[in-house]
Amino acid sequence: MSGKISRRSFLSRSAAAVAAPLVLPASVLGRGGATAPSERITVAGIGIHGRGFDDLRWIIGHDDVQVLAICDIWKQQREVVKKFVDDHYGNSDCKMYRDIREFLVERPDIDAVLIATGDHWHAQASIRAMRAGKDVYTEKPSSMTIAEGVAVVETARRYGRVYQTGTQRLSEANHVFAIEMARTGRLGKVDTAYAHIAPWDAAKMSHEWKSAQEQPPQDEVDWDIWLGPSPWRPFNLEYVKGGWRGFYDFHTSCIGEWGAHTFAQAQAGLDAGDTSPVKYEYVDNDNGDGMVCTFSNGQKMVLSRGDKYWHGSCGERFDGERGWVGAADGYSAPEASSPELLVEYKKVVGEYVARTGRSLDHMRNFLDCVKSREQTVANPTVMHRSMSTVHAANICMWLGRDLRYDPVAEEFINDDEANRLRSRAQREPWVI
């Protein structure tokens, strides 16, 4: 049989192909109640590992989102994320990038980014993404220093970007109830809030580094980009896999590990989301348990490790004239000093939703704000002020003495040594 095709045969076959119906899922066309492609928020992931995969599953589950790309310095992880995204959509469209700079230049079509790198990259990636016109959802702790927090706030304001830090308990009903009970006066005058800090590691972190391993090819693991603004250190794959906690170069200590969540929760209940404590009292231990942080109005926030005020993790509690109320992970309902304080649970949460218009789904709140351009619940100011408290508490522990802080000037009072620790040197070219 001849392998040649006549012109008439070719045209006949081509016409038939054009005439044949193209079968596409209704959701792709925006039918059946699905969001039309033109109305979807286009999203890319940056550094999606561990907890970041939970975030990816969370965001990709929303019908009005289309995940288009993954940027990661580790080829193995890039490919894992791409497969997950492609399998979800039934295509092969998810693009892979190694270098965040290349990704941000090449993808002006991306509306928002999901950042779940190691801690030392959260602010760096957020600022670069916002400068490139992206809205940002980033995991916490969202800054390594007070200066980084200032830079995030200023960048979001200058570029008009929507930003949400991953302190998701600010959007969970049990925590919202506890916060609103304190904030709205239902507990009477609140004198003390308690904030949970992580029960592992110490406040004083190691300044050493892991032993050197043979560095792989750049496309396999881009070690220079992984380090980013941090000091140069020998390559060790355990860092890339998540073994960076407890090291000063990359972590915010046991205080930042959970305090990034719980300080924001406590400060929200004290209606102090736009400020930080003015006094930090040193405690003679290695972790900050029992530190008292005092706000300008006299209200106190006590750092607590263990189960003195809750069971479960990442808890907050508020003590007022009429009793106390608190919540933590694993609670079926908030806990209180008396059952009477829990009677209005549904009313309190409902009033919060009606007043703010916010979803009790942290990711949904972010996506709604991407569309409306309103402030998220965990906006840059909320992130920065709670993280400033984290950093000031760490500095108090590092220096081993009480500190006084001016939250307006954002500097320690009459303490040059403490003020030098408000920032860290950044390695070129990763200076923001």
pLDDT in tens, 299-357: 999 999 999 999 999 999 999 999 999 999 999 999 999 999 999 999 999 999 999 99
Tabulate helix, strand, coil % of the chain (nearest 5): 40, 15, 45
Q: Which CATH architecture has domain 35-165?
A: 3-Layer(aba) Sandwich (3.40)
- pLDDT per residue over 225-278, tens digit each? 999 999 999 999 999 999 999 999 999 999 999 999 999 999 999 999 999 999
Residue 43, Cβ density class (10 Å: 0-12 exposed, 13-18 middle, ≥19 buried): buried
- Whether pTM exceeds 0.75: yes
- Distant-in-sequence, close-in-space partners of 7: CB < 8 Å, separation ≥ 6: none
Amino acid at 150: V
Q: Rounded to whole angstroms, what are the CA distances from 161 to 43, 47, 139, 328?
A: 14, 20, 17, 31
Question: Which residues, listed in sequence order, are joined to residue 300 by a DSSP beta bridge?
Answer: 192, 294
Q: Which of 8-17, 78-87, 225-234 has the lowest mean pLDDT?
A: 8-17
Whole-angstrom distance, CA of residue 348 vs CA of residue 103: 44
Distance set, CA 285 to CA 225, 282, 398 (Å): 36, 9, 11
Q: Which CATH class is domain 168-203+251-420?
A: alpha beta
Q: Within the chain, which residue ranges are assigned CATH 3.30.360.10? A: 168-203+251-420
Spatial distance between the Cα atoms of 432 and 72, rounded to a whole number of angstroms = 20
* Position 296 pLDDT exceeds 50: yes
> What region, left, alpha or beta, does residue 205 occupy, with left being phi > 0 and alpha being psi -120 to 50 degrees?
beta
Average pLDDT, the chain: 93
Q: Residue 380: enclosing H or E segment and its boundaries?
A: helix 380-399
CATH 3.40.50.720-classified regions of the chain: 35-165
